[in-house]
Structure 1
Amino acid sequence: MTVTNVFPQIPDDDNQTRSLPFTERRFGEVAAADMRALCAALELPDACHRTVDELVAALFGPWGGRPFGLTPPTRTDITDDGSPFEYSVVVGTDRPQVRLLLEPQSPTQPTTPASNWGAGWATLRSLRQRGLVDLSAAEAVGDLFEPLSGHAGFGLWLGAVIRPGTRPLIKAYFDPGAAGADNSRALVAEAMKRLGYTSGWAWLRRHALDRPDTPIPFISLDLTAADVSRVKVYTPAVVDDAASLEALLAPLPGYTPGTARRFCDDLLGPQTVFDRRRPLVCWEMTARLRAHPTQATLHLPVRCYTDHDQSVLRRVRRTFPACDAVALERAVRAIARRPLTTGSGLIAWVSRKLTAGPPQLTAYLSVEGYRHTRAESAEA
C-alpha cells in the first residue's frame, strides 16, 4: 500500500543536529532524528522514515523550532525530566511500531494546561484538514475535560503510531482530573455514556475501580472512524505486589492466570514490592464490543525497580524471544546519549498485552533532554 504524503516537509541534518550542544537542539529536530533512528533499528520500510519527518512537522508545529534550553518549558507527567515528548517501540509482532507521545506547547512561555489544551486542539484541527483524523469522538467529550478549574495536570496530549503500509494512527489523551480529583469518575462516566460505553463503564466500576482510592490518571481515544476506534481507560494497580495483580486482572475476558505475575517477576524480579511508583493498567474497549474490555495492557515502571537500563535489556533478553530482545536493544541504543549502565530512566516503562497471543512488548523511551543537559553542565 502506498502512503500519500500529506504533511509539510521538515528539513533536518542529523549530523548537524547531533553536533550541537543539547541545549541548542530543537524539539522537532531531535524528535525527527530519534524516530528515524528507531525506525532504522526496527528495520521499518523507508516510507516510515519519510512519514516520521512529515508527522513531526505536523504535530510539533511552530514550537518544534524551540531549542531545549537549560530548563524544561513546564512540568509534565509525560517524562520524569520535563521533556515534552517521549517515544515507544513495539516488538513481538510481525510489524514492529514506533510511537510518539507529546504535550503540545504554547508558542510562548510558559505552557499551562489551558495553553496546552489550545495548542493541542489547534494541532488536531490541522490534522483534520489533511484528512488524518476523525474528531467526532473527541469533540463529543471535549467540553468535559477542558482545564477550566485550575486542578488539571495537563490539557491535551497527542499520540501517534507509525504503522508500516498505512497512515499513522493519531490518539488524544484527556485528563479526568480537569475538574478536580473528586470529580474525575463523574467526568469519565459521562464521557463513556456519550461515546456509547455505558455498559463498559459499569464493568470497569465493578472490577477495576471497586476501590475508592483508585484514581484515573487519563483516558485516550483513537481518532479514527467510529466502527474501528478504541477507548482506553488507565488505572494504577493499587496493589502491593505481583501476586495481588492476579485478583485485579482475573475478571478480564481471555486472561490467562499467572501472566501478570510472570511478567513482573521476569522484568522486576520475584517478590518485588510496589513501594515506589505503581504499575499501570490500560483497559481497552472497542466500538465492536462495548460491554467490557477486550484487552488490557500492564505497564511496569522499570526505572524505579532496576539499577540501570542495561539491566532491563538483560532481563528482556533472558525471558523473551531472542529476535524481539535484539530488536529492542538496537532501538534503545539507537537513541541513547549515555552509557546504559550509568543509570535508569532511558527505558521508563515496559508493557505487555495480557490476553491470548504472542507476548507483544512495548518499551517507553525517554528523551532525557534535561537530564542530559544537567549532566553536561555538571561535567563543565
Structure 2
Amino acid sequence: MEAGDVVTLRHHRMHIILLHNRDHDLLEDDPGREAREDVVRVVSSLADALNQGDTLAEPLAIEGDRLDFVDTLRRRQPDLVVNLCESLAADSRGEMAVPCLLDALGLAYTGSSALSLGLALHKPKAKEVLTARGVSTPPFRVVERLEDALAVDLPWPLIVKPAREDASMGVTSESVVHERAALVRACDAVLREFHQPALVEQFIPGREIYVPLLGNQPRRALPLTEIVFGRTFEDRPNIVSYNAKWEAASAEYRDTTSGLCRLDANLESRCVQVALEAFAALDCQDYGRVDLRVSPEGVPYVIDINPNCDLHPSAGFAKAALAAGMDYPALASRLVEVALERAHGHPSHRRKGPGADRRADSKDRNLLAAGG
C-alpha cells in the first residue's frame, strides 16, 4: 500500500496506530525479556480485532531508543494512537516518555498520562500518594544501599521487589523473607541485578485479587479475578513471581491460575472501592488493573497499580471483559471509544464537526489531544 492510499483511506476509515516497544532483543542479559516480548503479541491481537469495517489499525514499533516514530506519527496524523509502550531501549522508565511526545504532537491516545504512568512505575512514590490519600497499602521502606536493609523496622514477614519495575520483574520465591539475613540477600539481589533501589513491604498473607477498571466518567469495575495457587506453592510463598507469570515451563507457571473471584457482596464492594480510590489517586484513566492482597481479616491492601496492563486475549483483563459480556473485538472497540470520549468530549459514534452536540468536558480531558 502506498502512502497516498493511506491518505485516501483516511477519508473513509478511522485511522488507528498501535504504538509499541520492540526492544526485547536489545540487551544480552535482560531480566524482563519475556514481558517485553509479550507486547508484540498483544499488538497483533488488537490489530486483528480493530481492523473491522471502517477502521484501519496499523502497528508501529519503537525500535530500541530510536525516536523516528515521532516523525512517522506527525506525518500520518492518525485519529488515535493505541499506546502499548511499556519501555524504551529495554528501560521501563522510558514508558512515561511516550505520552509526553504524543501530547506534544497533539495526538489522542489510549491509556494514562505520563504523570500517572511515571507514578505507577515508581512504586515508593505511588505508595506515598496512596498513603496521603488514605488508601490502604502495606507499610514500606526503601533500601537504596545495602546498609539501609539493616535499619528496616517493619513487622515480619516482608517482601522485596525492585522499586521501579512491573510485570513481576525481580520477584522470586526468595523475595518473601522472615529474618534479617534473608532480607539483606534479597535487597542485594535487586540492587545488583536491577541497578535501582529495593522496595521492602510488609507481606500481607491472604488472597490475591485483581480489580480490572474500564472507563472514566463513569468508571466501572469488570468482574474481579483471583489468583489460585496450586500444590507447588504448599512450601513456598503464595506470590505471583516472574516465573509464575512468564516462564511457561516452570512449575510456578503451571500452578498459578486465575479465575473469576467469589466474594461476599460486602468484601467485593470494599475491594472495588479501594481499587477506584487508588486509580483516582494516581489520576489514571481509560483502563487498568489494581492488584490487591486481602488479609484474613478481610482488609484489601493495594500492592500494585497497573495502568498499562496486559491486553492479550488470554490475559486477565480480556477474560474479565468476556465475563461481563464483551468479547475481544468489543473490548478493543470500547477501549478506542473511551479514549476518544475523553480526548474529544464525545464518543466515536456521534457526529463530529460544526454544529455537533458536545458533552461537557470531563475533569481529565486531554486538552492537547482535543486541540490536535
Q: Same fold by TM (over 0.5)?
A: no
Rg larger for: 2
| TM-score between the two structures when normalised by the length of structure 2 | 0.28
TM-score (norm 1): 0.28
